[in-house]
A and B are shown apart, each in its own frame.
Chain A
Amino acid sequence: DTGVSQNPRHKITKRGQNVTFRCDPISEHNRLYWYRQTLGQGPEFLTYFQNEAQLEKSRLLSDRFSAERPKGSFSTLEIQRTEQGDSAMYLCASSGRTSGKATGELFFGEGSRLTVL
């Protein structure tokens, strides 16, 4: 399967614990995005990378959230000291280029569902 892969698919944790999610994008895609989605809402932008550089991080994102994309391949999203309000689906997406231009079309993984008790 050459689609976007996310792990784990489900994570249940207690308040105050740290969690880490991993995303493996489509191999030829240079951009990687993280979004968060709660029930009945659209995906909310968190951050994105072009290759290994983190180009933007949402102002709404607290310092407890950090993302990395070492070597421009897979990415990790870590949430420290989780709170119940962090419960959501965390979506990863990647996008590529056509004729040298970024297409903007996002290809999403199945998501990682976080439940904070």
Chain B
Amino acid sequence: EDQVTQSPEALRLQEGESSSLNCSYTVSGLRGLFWYRQDPGKGPEFLFTLYSAGEEKEKERLKATLTKKESFLHITAPKPEDSATYLCAVRGNAGKSIFGDGTTLTVKP
């Protein structure tokens, strides 16, 4: 059964303090690993897709990386507006995306 585990559950950073979020996964036939951002009361917003180990994607202060067992979302010099819940999901042979429970990031000014 496809499974996603994210850590930590919550992360509090000072503005400018870089850190990483972890997503560990097991999946039958990886057809994509996805990162989403979710603000309170809103639907998740797509950020990145990674397809194979060694792949990296960047967007502003965020960089996502992928190995055969886990993915990291690196946040460089975060700002308060980066505060949100970050969700990881995997899509396998079953064709549907399975989500982790997310990491809630709070960036204090």
Footprint of B on A, CB under 8 Å?
4, 33, 35, 40-45, 48, 55-56, 91, 93, 102-111
* Contact of A42 with B100 in the complex, beta carbons under 8 Å: yes
Q: Which residues of B contact A (CB under 8 A)?
A: 4, 6, 31-32, 34, 36, 41-46, 49, 87, 89, 91, 94-102
CB nearest neighbor in B for A108: B43
CB atoms of B96 and A45 under 8 A apart? yes
A10 to chain B, nearest CB (A): 10
Question: How far is A2 from B97 in the complex, measured between Cα atoms in Å?
Answer: 23
- A110 to B99 Cα, complex, angstroms: 17
What total count of A-B pairs have CB within 8 Å? 61
A91 near B43: Cβ-Cβ < 8 Å = yes
Considering the complex, give the chain B residue whose CB is closest to the CB of A50: B95
Contact of B87 among A43, A48, A105 (CB under 8 A): A43
Closest chain-A Cβ to B104's Cβ sits at a distance in Å of: 9
Give the Cβ gap from A47 to chain B, nearest Cβ, in Å.
9
12 A-B pairs within 8 Å (CB atoms) are namely: A40-B101, A42-B100, A43-B99, A44-B99, A48-B95, A55-B95, A103-B49, A104-B97, A105-B32, A105-B46, A111-B41, A111-B43
Minimum CB–CB distance for A57 against chain B, Å? 11
B47 to A, closest residue via Cβ: A105
Residues of chain A lying within 8 A (CB to CB) of residue B87: 42-43
Residues on the B chain within 8 Å of A48, using CB: 95-96
Apart from A4-B43, A48-B95, A93-B43: 13 A-B pairs, beta carbons within 8 A = A35-B99, A40-B101, A45-B98, A48-B96, A56-B95, A91-B43, A102-B95, A103-B49, A104-B34, A105-B32, A105-B46, A108-B44, A111-B41
| Chain B nearest CB, measured from A69 CB (Å) | 15
B91: A residues at CB distance < 8 A: 104
Q: Are B46 and A106 in contact (CB under 8 A)?
A: yes
A42 and B42 contact, Cβ closer than 8 Å, known pairs A105-B34, A105-B49: no
| Nearest-neighbor residue (CB-CB) of B44 within chain A | A108
User: Which residues of A sit under 8 angstroms from B41, Cβ to Cβ?
Assistant: 111
**How far apart sit A45 and B3, CA to CA, in the bound complex (Å)?**
12
| Cα separation A104 to B43 with both chains bound (whole Å) | 16
